[in-house]
Structure 1
């Protein structure tokens, strides 16, 4: 017998990574664009932070606990508007989340192929509608009907602080004005502005669910909804969370639509159905034209707080969405 010679170890062959001129140009443009966006975002944050120094020196931490906004009395604080911002955003996400999820599932899993493209275009076009149009829609169309819903909620759930209104719901002639211009009405309008962004993220992640697992579930006798529940929804969990958080970031910063609907009131109250509230962005838009001196610095400080909050929310959302796209954390 002939002894076999020892096999030479396999050495991986190096691949040449020569880039063409167009590749280098594309890489340089992409790198420059990314750095420019980071510089602009960082510049905005630094500018707002520097403009906040006079306010913090003058009012200290009381600026974050004071509820009143009275420049003539030198009483400025954002505690009330921060609560109002959270309330409007919470109402918006209460309506936007189920609508976005249902719309994304229908487009990606149930809509006929010929209709799917039209539905995607229509939902995406909703994001192109100016916010002032949503504000007018909410003021003239939504608010009259929302006030009746608010009256119904107070009658049946008025024992809950969120649904309580300082008015008699059983009066012969109910006071409609107590149920308008509220966080509830503004939140409905903002929900329609949030829906396209959240739906687009969810839809993209759902479409990336593994085809093999879809077919395996159907081959084992699963219904369409059973396949969606056992394959698509678990795979798209990150997209659902990320899309919701991106929508929340949009809801926190919405301005014109909220400004057109709400009646400004600088008090902390959990009653979302009652007239009167305010948000940080609406406060800045409404007061900026007449502001000067310390009031202008206070508005910029409020803007800096909102900038930090939305930056944190959007950063967390981007991380969650990227993890879901890469497939990380999707194994059962």
Structure 2
């Protein structure tokens, strides 16, 4: 007797049995640990890209600096090989003559002296203004002064040059005469016989003009550094009975010293390479005179701007050689500043 096969129950909604298979169950949501792993992977990719970009930027900067040095050296080699004078001690500048004779003694002296005068005037005044804005002036007065300082930093150099030629030079007659009368015994701050009374188109006037030009840069950077001084250090000094000046001397100035040095180097870099303002004010000459109140002198940047357009091949090569010396001086100055800042590793980032 045959046993009847069991019948499969039919779905009422699908009597023919042709309905599709049910959808698979949804995959479970990722756990918290998996989300963390994915976030770490994305963070590592971002860190890798940022490291590559920053490292590439640093390498690119070194490549650009090396390319500039190589270009200047290559262009200067022709004139230096044909020069019949000593490049460092010759006063004359005649690279297109027959034979070519030129040297940077006068230019080096004028560049260094005018920059030193500018720094001696600008740095103390800039520090005083920065301290006044950050620790003495009320907020309603400090903000407009800070905006004015930042605005002065954006004034083009040719505007300073025109102001110096039309206003500063005529109004320095009295000061130069007083310096010659009372400080002429120093020889450096005096005038030669027969020069007294002439227009003060000299290195001292250039130094004063450069001091006015670099003052906003040093002030702005120093102000921001002084504002970053630890508030707890200032309050601790005041709590111990220090006056405001004693608090600044013991808490603010030591903290801001590396920043002030960096700001000063920025200003010095502009003073060393300033061109149009110096060319507008200075009366250049090939005479090396230790009287800085006498008209005459010259700087690297001013000499390049004044003679590049009329120079021939050898003359342009000689001007590029003087530009190479200015490049080297700037590098040495910045390296010396970095060495000074590195003594305060906790503020300079040298221990990072």
Give the TM-score taking structure 1 as reference length. Answer: 0.85
State the partner residue of 1:72.
97
User: Does residue 1:63 correspond to 2:63, yes or no?
Assistant: no
RMSD (CA atoms): 2.6
SS in 2 for 1:62: coil
Q: Kindly name which structure, 1 or 2, has the bigger radius of gyration based on alpha carbons.
A: 2
Task: Tell me, in whole angstroms, the C-alpha distance in 2 between the residues paired with 1:17 and 1:322.
Answer: 36
Contact 2:191–2:294 at 8 Å: present in 1 too?
A: yes
SS in 1 for 2:86: helix
Task: Tell me, in whole angstroms, the C-alpha distance in 2 between the residues paired with 1:215 and 1:55.
Answer: 62
Task: Tell me, in whole angstroms, the C-alpha distance in 2 between the residues paired with 1:134 and 1:271.
Answer: 25
State the partner residue of 2:65.
41
State the partner residue of 1:298.
318
Contact 2:341–2:348 at 8 Å: present in 1 too?
A: no
State the partner residue of 1:51.
75
Distance 1:198 1:221, change over 3 A: same
Q: Which moved more, 1:27-36 or 1:241-250?
A: 27-36
State the partner residue of 1:141.
167
State the partner residue of 1:81.
107
Contact 1:262–1:275 at 8 Å: present in 2 too?
A: yes
Query: Any stretches of 5+ residues in structure 2 without a counterpart?
Result: 1-38
| Structure 1 residues 141-220: aligned runs within 5 Å | 141-167=167-193, 176-177=197-198, 179-220=199-240
CA deviation after TM superposition for structure 1 residue 202, in Å: 1.9
User: Does residue 1:253 correspond to 2:281, yes or no?
Assistant: no
More helix by share: 1
Task: Tell me, in whole angstroms, the C-alpha distance in 1 between the residues paired with 2:67 and 2:234.
Answer: 46
Contact 1:66–1:77 at 8 Å: present in 2 too?
A: yes
Give the TM-score taking structure 2 as reference length. Answer: 0.80
CA deviation after TM superposition for structure 1 residue 28, in Å: 4.9
Query: Any stretches of 5+ residues in structure 1 without a counterpart?
Result: 1-14, 170-174
Contact 1:182–1:277 at 8 Å: present in 2 too?
A: yes
Aligned residues: 310
Contact 2:158–2:277 at 8 Å: present in 1 too?
A: yes
